[in-house]
Amino acid sequence: MVQRVASGQADDVVHGSNPAARVTRLSQGQIDCLLLVDQHHSSKEIAVRLGISPHTVDQRIRGALEKLGVDRRGEAARLVESARAELASDVRRARQDLRQEVSELAITVAERLIRKSLHDEDHRRIVADAIARVDKAN
């Protein structure tokens, strides 16, 4: 770790960027392995679950450790889980915001339709009055 900090590879650790930003550097295979590490699975168990060799699991985890700038599997796994939870929370918030926007939009559209309907009714009345006057004049 000290060597990584000295070489600038552990910039995120030093500057404390958020987990989601750090995890975006990982491949899907690395993320899959680390999520299973977070569930306390061994490399052999992860290999069986993912249908890959234990050697590939270890390579993916080593690569993830390097990209994340951490030394321990558990620490990397916690970062991935934290990022997953953060993203899930962001998705929930975005859905709530979208629901609110859709509700506000629906209200606006309904108000406009009501106004248009009233406006159309006024036009119908004016046209009917004009037709009645023309009929009276004839």
Q: Which domains does the chain possess?
A: 2-137 (1.10.10.10)
pLDDT tens figures, 68-84: 999 999 999 999 988 88
Query: How many other C-beta atoms lie within 10 A of the C-beta of residue 104?
Result: 10
pTM over 0.75: no
Is the model's pLDDT at 12 over the cut of 50?
Answer: no
The b-or-e profile of 31-65 (16+ CB within 10 A means b, else e) is bbbbebbbeebebeebbeebebeeebbeebbebbb
Asked if 76 contacts 12 with a C-beta cutoff of 8 angstroms, the reply is no
CB-based contact 35:77 (threshold 8 Å): yes
Distance CA 15, CA 13 (A): 6
Higher pLDDT among residues 16 and 99, named by residue:
99
Q: Is the dihedral of CA 104, 110, 111, 112 positive or negative?
A: positive
Q: How confident is the model at residue 105 (pLDDT cuts 50, 70, 90)?
A: confident
Give the SS3 label for residue 51: coil
* Residues 50 and 83 sit within 8 Å (Cβ to Cβ): no
If you average pLDDT over every residue of the chain, what do you get? Answer: 83
